[in-house]
Structure 1
Amino acid sequence: MGHEKDASPCARTPRSTAPPLRSDAQRNRERILEVALVELTRAADTPLSAIAKKAGVGQGTFYRNFPSREALVMEIYRYEMQQVADSAAQLLSTREPDRALREWMDGLARFAMAKAGLADAIRQATSGPGSPAKPGHSPVTEAAELLLRSCEEAGSIRPGVTADDLVLAIGGLWQLDPAEDWQPRATRLLDLVMDGLRAGAPGR
């Protein structure tokens, strides 16, 4: 009987109605960001109304989330960067540290290509007076440190490598052209970097 009472509408309303609403709003927001990334990569001046239409949301919903083009572009950048950062802990929970690091680097390559594709849109969004500043890389740097320290503790990479070292080593990613077949070249580059990290590892 206790369970039936807990399941009554009055008892559950405060906790059962709010989360789905937030979830729907979050899905709308993420859908807008996914569509906007594709469309703004194709053309930096894509109308916001076209992005809203392809995302399947109304103008009101769109502008509640992103009141301006600048806000949309900066949020795409932040969102993609945060996705990469958040994936580090997820990968470490299911893979050996060195495999987690290598797969995370693939995600970083995809972020680099998204950033390159958005370059014109980012320049437009940050060039005018009072425009927002481009976000830094701190979440990605923190994720890299987490992965590197996990690998070091496991003895699967050479000791002493920092996140700054890693970013410099894979800087070639930012030279690839997202309009070309960049994935095979990125894979070769990251495999070379990973081989270098593993060289001299105490656990090998």
Structure 2
Amino acid sequence: MTETEARAPRADAARNRDQLLAVATRVFGAADGEPSMRAIAREAGVGIATLYRHFPTRESLVDAVYRDQVGRLTTGAHDLLRRLPPAAAMRRWMDLFGDWVATKNGMLDTLLAMIESGEIAHARTRAELLAAITTILDAGGAAGDLRSDITAEDIAAALLGIFTVAPRPGQEAKAGRLLNLLMDGLRAGAGQVGGA
């Protein structure tokens, strides 16, 4: 067996895992309740044994999806700023945040149990997300296109409010309008108080 042949199963396994993670994220995001592991495997086009080989428990799958989504949000702030002006990066990041919130719909009970048991550190996640927002705000302040009197906590609270009244999936248009209104208020010169 050549070295390339020896590495092939590991590459296939990594691809299968990535595929399962992507499908689980999509299924969780579209679900009203928690979908079965069998439904996720079926959607991914694999047997249940393959799913359990990669994710032995529902909790391990939820943990992987949750961490992947938080990672996408935290690295996404930097990636977006490399490609877009800060205001456009902020608006696009808000969409990513909405995707993350929607994904939690189909894993909420398991996720809450894991947070309560300490398996997932909610405070750490919150700090990571606030740091991502701060990164974009700081860039926007330096570029002069985002207000300097807004905090990451303000934006996080506004986003949670928006996605509470306009949950996704199903209300993307309403959420988009509300996010655009929020962005109008975040632009430099928009509604800043304390002027002469």
Q: TM-score range by the shorter chain?
A: 0.7 to 0.9
Task: Find the counterpart in structure 2 of residue 27 from structure 1.
Answer: 15
Query: Per-residue displacement from partner, 1:161-186 (whole Å, max 9, x unpaired)?
Result: 22112112222133145466311111
Q: CA deviation at 1:65?
A: 2.6
Task: Find the counterpart in structure 1 of residue 77 from structure 2.
Answer: 88
State the identity as a percent. 34
Is there any run of 5+ residues in structure 2 with no aligned partner, and where? none
Q: CA deviation at 1:155?
A: 0.5
Q: Closer, same or farther in 2 for the Cα pair 1:158/1:44, shift >3 Å?
A: same
Q: Closer, same or farther in 2 for the Cα pair 1:49/1:180, shift >3 Å?
A: closer
Q: Closer, same or farther in 2 for the Cα pair 1:189/1:177, shift >3 Å?
A: closer
Q: Closer, same or farther in 2 for the Cα pair 1:24/1:139, shift >3 Å?
A: farther
What secondary structure is seen at the aligned counterpart in 2 of 1:157? Answer: coil
Distance in 2 separating the partners of 1:57 and 1:181: 28
Query: Per-residue displacement from partner, 1:112-141 (whole Å, max 9, x unpaired)?
Result: 222234323424x5388x572354233322
The answer on whether the counterparts of 1:158 and 1:199 sit within 8 Å (CA) in structure 2 is: yes
The answer on whether the counterparts of 1:80 and 1:111 sit within 8 Å (CA) in structure 2 is: yes
With normalisation by structure 2, the TM-score equals 0.76
Mean Cα deviation higher: 174-183 or 80-89 = 174-183
Q: CA deviation at 1:151?
A: 0.4
Q: Does 1:139 align with 2:123?
A: no
Is there any run of 5+ residues in structure 1 with no aligned partner, and where? 1-9
With normalisation by structure 1, the TM-score equals 0.74
The answer on whether the counterparts of 1:31 and 1:55 sit within 8 Å (CA) in structure 2 is: yes
Q: CA deviation at 1:30?
A: 2.3
Task: Find the counterpart in structure 2 of residue 7 from structure 1.
Answer: none
Task: Find the counterpart in structure 2 of residue 116 from structure 1.
Answer: 105
The answer on whether the counterparts of 1:92 and 1:147 sit within 8 Å (CA) in structure 2 is: yes
Q: Does 1:196 align with 2:196?
A: no
**Structure-to-structure mapping, 1:1-204, within 5 angstroms:** 23-40=11-28, 41-46=31-36, 48-59=37-48, 61-123=50-112, 125-126=113-114, 132-133=119-120, 135=122, 136-176=125-165, 178=167, 181-200=170-189
Q: Closer, same or farther in 2 for the Cα pair 1:68/1:108, shift >3 Å?
A: same
The answer on whether the counterparts of 1:116 and 1:178 sit within 8 Å (CA) in structure 2 is: no
The answer on whether the counterparts of 1:74 and 1:134 sit within 8 Å (CA) in structure 2 is: no
What secondary structure is seen at the aligned counterpart in 2 of 1:170? Answer: helix
Please provide the CA RMSD for this pair: 3.1
Q: Closer, same or farther in 2 for the Cα pair 1:127/1:90, shift >3 Å?
A: closer
Q: Closer, same or farther in 2 for the Cα pair 1:153/1:179, shift >3 Å?
A: closer
